[in-house]
């Protein structure tokens, strides 16, 4: 039995499909599971008694977290710790998702899993605290750290750019922050792959030798400006006459309540070595996701 939290989110929605071949899935919604209520978390886990807990739920409002610190920590730090404690009690495997925003962006080469975390804001700090709580729980666990997540549904940079391209003649996009755009579908596929490799006689068991954190990102590097420009280049509804101009701007020209790391590139080599998978290049993955978006759908989806 797989217990999946956050099934309505970008990654969770993809997980519901990719994990289905591995066993029955219980995916409680917000009404059924309040992640700010630790007693409710324990009650749900004990009722379901899963063999695998996949925690795709998170507080992801980076800027709002600066003024909603308690809620961000409740969902991103306290809840994962409780989930891991219950997982350890049941002997269940725990899969959790982390973020590149646990780093300050000062490193000139891609971050590895062993680099010390130095978050710049509440969101990154709350996620780092959740990672630490899981690692300290004694549960069999894998933490998948990713970056710049997007999908063909929900609220994300890809759909926002497509919507704004329909509304504006010029887009001003930050060009001095760098990362690896990573689709939710790829994250879900990697999750299913590592769980399938850990399956024996119908039961998923994470060997202690693989417990820990892994970077799950595409290969390559992009700025938000380059990401936006490439999105529009792949958009079948745009041509040279109708595409808006994309103007690169510095971070200081787009102030936000929360600071972002200047470079949050992650090195996926450890994941590739351990689980025998080669992470694809970000443009290749973007093209695949763009091919799944029906004409004009992005304009509608981003408003939902």
The domain ranges of the chain are: 2-152+183-219+265-279
pLDDT of residue 237: 67
Q: Whose CA is closest to 103, among 79, 86, 120? A: 120
Per-residue confidence at 204, pLDDT binned at 50, 70, 90?
Answer: confident
Of 123, 150, 214, 225, the catalytic one is 123
What is the average pLDDT value for the chain, to the nearest integer? 92
Residue range 193-198: mean pLDDT, rounded: 92
Q: Which of 26-40, 66-80, 228-242, 246-260 has the lowest mean pLDDT?
A: 228-242
Question: What CATH number has the domain spanning 2-152+183-219+265-279?
Answer: 3.40.50.720
Torsion (CA) 241, 246, 247, 250 in degrees, nearest 10: 180
**Per-residue pLDDT at 234:** 86
In the residue annotation, 101 being an active-site residue is answered as no
Q: In the structure, how many helices (H) and strands (E) does the chain have?
A: 11, 14
* Statement: the pTM of the whole predicted model exceeds 0.95: no
């Amino acid at each position: 039995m797989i217990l999946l939290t956050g099934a309505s989110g970008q990654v969770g929605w993809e997980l519901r499909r990719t994990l289905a071949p591995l066993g029955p899935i219980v995916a409680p919604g917000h009404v059924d599971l309040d992640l700010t209520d630790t007693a409710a978390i324990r009650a749900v886990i004990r009722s379901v008694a899963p063999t695998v807990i996949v925690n795709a739920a998170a507080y992801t409002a980076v800027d709002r977290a600066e003024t909603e610190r308690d809620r961000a920590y409740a969902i991103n730090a306290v809840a994962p710790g409780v989930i891991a404690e219950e997982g350890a009690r049941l002997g269940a495997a725990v899969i959790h998702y982390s973020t590149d925003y646990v780093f300050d962006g000062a490193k000139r080469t891609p971050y590895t899993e062993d680099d010390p975390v130095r978050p710049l804001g509440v969101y990154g700090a709350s996620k780092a605290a959740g990672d630490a709580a899981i690692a300290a729980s004694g549960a069999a666990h894998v933490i998948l750290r990713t970056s710049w997540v997007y999908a063909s549904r929900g609220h994300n940079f890809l759909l926002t750019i497509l919507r704004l391209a329909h509304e504006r003649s010029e887009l001003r996009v930050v060009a001095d922050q760098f990362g690896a755009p990573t689709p939710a579908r790829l994250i879900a596929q990697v999750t299913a792959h590592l769980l399938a490799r850990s399956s024996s006689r119908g039961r998923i068991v994470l060997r202690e030798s693989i417990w820990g954190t892994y970077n799950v990102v595409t290969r390559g590097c992009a700025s938000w400006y380059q990401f936006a420009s490439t999105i529009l280049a792949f958009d079948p509804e745009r041509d040279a006459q109708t595409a808006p101009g994309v103007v690169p701007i510095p971070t200081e020209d787009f102030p936000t309540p929360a600071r972002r790391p200047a470079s949050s590139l992650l090195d996926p080599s450890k994941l590739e070595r351990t689980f025998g998978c080669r992470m694809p290049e970000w443009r290749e993955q973007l093209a695949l996701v763009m091919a799944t978006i029906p004409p004009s759908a992005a304009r509608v989806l981003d408003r939902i």
